[in-house]
Amino acid sequence: MTFPWPAGSATGIGSMPGTDIAEAQRIVLGELPDLPHLPELPDRGPGADMIGRGGALLTELPVELYAGRWRVASRPGHDLRVGLDYLERDLDTMTAQASEFGGLFKIQVPGPWTLAASLQLPIGGAVLRDPGATRDLAASLADGVALHVASVRARLPQATILLQIDEPSLPAVLAGRVPSESGYATLRSVDPSLARSSLASVISAADVPVVVHCCAADVPLSLLRTAGAMAVALDLSLISDLDALGEFLDEGAGLFAGVSGPSPADAVRGLWRKLGFPLSALPVQVVVTPPCGISVPPLAVLRSVRDAGRRLTDHL
């Protein structure tokens, strides 16, 4: 098996505390030299959050804030301009600090089903309730992701780009657990084949290796693999179905292992032994990460996962 990341790599999931993008990018490049990423700083406010960032990527589908929630708008306005400004500022900072970087660099976008479950229709209710609007959203996101990846490639000409698609809402979408506008009911479940098709359209449009991140207990691993994901990012503390994970990895997929605690390398090794895979494959197939976004001062967290990744190569 070959993967684009170096053996013993570690990276962040995306979000970090604070409001200084220059400082955040400097920390990431310094602490995660094998697989740095573009930090996300939601503390800056609406437009810098995951859904606001996703809205800034959509093409011909403007969004706005209404009653504290993002919704589809009739025309571009102030809220979208704020989101676009944050995105451009982040990319400019990335370019200034990493333009000579020649390794693997990760960027993150929200997935079509998480956006559909989070964005509201102008008439109320989640986009997810309207199949036509959901299709339009997925197509718009696919176009926007292709443009975003192309922009990052142009800014980092010596780097290889890895795309992370964040789909925390996907299990709830598939299980029919997304609440209706009233909160007294739930929206009907989405057929797995439709979910796979929309996600695959975004993965295909990106035209780069893709890892799908989902910090839930019931991640649809088979769906993600057949949609085209080369790796999955999971919180290891939430994994209960080791057989499904074993099958996913046995097919040659990668694992971004989200771990915390005093001995993250031991936690990853313990899982690997339970799965019955050879330890020689561990540092090649697995990237160590925090379980999810970072909400505490990031230096100690990033150093912990970096050191854990390097410890996985001890036996090589």
Q: What is the CATH number of the domain that holds 72?
A: 3.20.20.210
Q: Please check whether residue 6 lies inside any domain of the structure.
A: no
Tokens 């013993």 found at: 8
- Show the domain range for 143: 21-311
Which is nearest to 194 in space by CA: 127, 110, 134?
Answer: 134
Q: Please check whether residue 4 lies inside any domain of the structure.
A: no
Q: Which two tokens stand for residue 176?
A: 């029919």
Q: How do 254-258 and 63-66 pair as beta strands?
A: unpaired
Q: Please check whether residue 244 lies inside any domain of the structure.
A: yes
Note the pLDDT of residue 168.
97
Q: From CA 109, how far away is CA 171, in angstroms rounded?
A: 18
Tokens 């085209």 found at: 228
Q: From CA 311, how far away is CA 296, in angstroms rounded?
A: 24
Note the pLDDT of residue 182.
83
Identify whether the C-beta of residue 87 lies closer than 8 Å to the C-beta of residue 53.
yes
Which is nearest to 170 in space by CA: 124, 205, 138?
Answer: 138
Confidence of residue 315 (pLDDT cuts 50, 70, 90): low
Of residues 60 and 316, more confidence is placed in 60
Tokens 């700083």 found at: 41
Q: Where are the alpha helices (DSSP H) in 15-71?
A: 21-31, 50-57
Q: Please check whether residue 12 lies inside any domain of the structure.
A: no
The upper half-sphere exposure of residue 306, i.e. CA atoms within 13 Å in the direction of its Cβ, equals: 16
Average pLDDT over residues 176-203: 95
User: Which percentage of the chain shows pLDDT scores above 70?
Assistant: 99
Confidence of residue 316 (pLDDT cuts 50, 70, 90): low
5-48 per-position pLDDT tens digit: 999 999 999 999 999 999 999 999 999 999 999 999 999 999 99
72: Cβ–Cβ under 8 A, 6 or more apart, which residues?
Answer: 61, 62, 63, 119, 120, 121, 122, 127, 133
Note the pLDDT of residue 181.
87
Q: Please check whether residue 11 lies inside any domain of the structure.
A: no
Q: Please check whether residue 1 lies inside any domain of the structure.
A: no
pLDDT at position 150 over 80: yes
Average pLDDT over residues 165-172: 98
> Rounded to two decimals, what is the model's pTM?
0.97
Average pLDDT over residues 129-144: 98
Taking all residues of the chain, what is their mean pLDDT, rounded to a whole number? 96
pLDDT at position 275 over 60: yes
Note the pLDDT of residue 282.
96
Domain total in the chain? 1
| Angle value at C-alpha 287, between 88 and 49, nearest 5 degrees | 30
Q: Please check whether residue 211 lies inside any domain of the structure.
A: yes
Note the pLDDT of residue 217.
87
Confidence of residue 184 (pLDDT cuts 50, 70, 90): confident
Identify whether the C-beta of residue 83 lies closer than 8 Å to the C-beta of residue 62.
no
